[in-house]
Amino acid sequence: MNSMVDTIVAAPASSEAHLPSRVLEIRPEESKLVCVGADGREFALSRLIGSNVRVGDELLAPASAGTAIADTEIYIRKPTLRRADVYQVKAGYAALPKMDKREEPFVRVQVAEGQLGINVIHIPCHVIRDYFFAANRRASWPSQPTFYYVLRLPQDVTYKELRLAYRLRRLEFQKQNASKAELAMIERAYNMLADPDIRGVYDALIKDSAIPVPFPYSGFGSLLVQGERSAESGAITSKIMRSSGTAIANSRFSSTTSCCRSDGIQPGASGAISLLPPSKYLPTSFTRAAIANAAASGN
């Protein structure tokens, strides 16, 4: 994974720190991308955020010098594209879903320690669904394989069975040289099903994909979204989530869930991740005897 450290080299005049800088040049530098602005400022960004910048874009960042962590507040304005601005920030509390003026559910995420005049991010519930709860972020929701299918499990699987099934599925993927995206997919499936509350939301989504979906773990962490800033208020409405660093409190396999890390896959994009053949340990026609045998044999 690329370095998640962003370095902002501010112009000498701090009064310009909150003014947008039009990007004239982008040059690779080790694990970062250095964006050179028309006003002489340079922004050395991680590959994750820097990959969203194009020549002609406008960068806006707080006054800073030296290095900053991954949730450094950065706003990338796309002058020629509508609703395509990119915003990286440290997220605070995510409220429970409520209805907007069009009677569509959304979640309001607070901006923690924001300095660019943006106080809140509005995320439609279907955007949260397609980022956190989708096994295959390249596929539309109706064609999604379920997390249960990905792990070759029935919907009434116990936690103990889930844990062992994940270990075996991951071992199989590794032996078959699965891609990082495929490994991230099964890790995301495990992490989401391992949390009883989130699993309850997911099971409800399987029955009705239009239900209001809460932001997992109530927010808190780095957030990278694409959308449009309101001209009348300090809010940005997201149409795509690109990355989220939300922490899992009790994850057994990762300190940060893979469903929250960017894997380079955007919801709704064309194509699909190819699923590897059913596990030789856990056939599609799952039986608890298969789990018991695997546990007894030490696999």
Domains by residue range for the chain, with CATH:
1-70 (no CATH), 82-297 (1.10.287.110)
Phi/psi at 130 (5° precision): -75, -15
Evaluate whether 71 touches 221 at the Cβ level (below 8 Å): yes
CB atoms under 10 Å from CB of 180, counted, come to 11
Distances in whole angstroms, Cα of residue 137 to Cα of each of 4, 93, 188, 237: 22, 25, 11, 20
Q: How far apart are CA 212 and CA 83, in angstroms?
A: 23
Q: What local confidence, expressed as pLDDT, does residue 105 receive?
A: 94
Q: How far apart are CA 48 and CA 285, in angstroms?
A: 39
Beta bridge partners of 240: 226
For the chain (299 residues), the mean pLDDT of every run of 10, in chain order, is: 39 52 92 89 87 93 55 89 89 92 93 88 94 88 90 90 90 88 90 93 94 90 89 83 60 41 39 42 50 60
Q: What local confidence, expressed as pLDDT, does residue 8 receive?
A: 42
Q: What local confidence, expressed as pLDDT, does residue 296 receive?
A: 61
Q: How far apart are CA 87 and CA 98, in angstroms?
A: 23
Q: What local confidence, expressed as pLDDT, does residue 106 receive?
A: 95
CB atoms under 10 Å from CB of 65, counted, come to 10
CB atoms under 10 Å from CB of 269, counted, come to 12
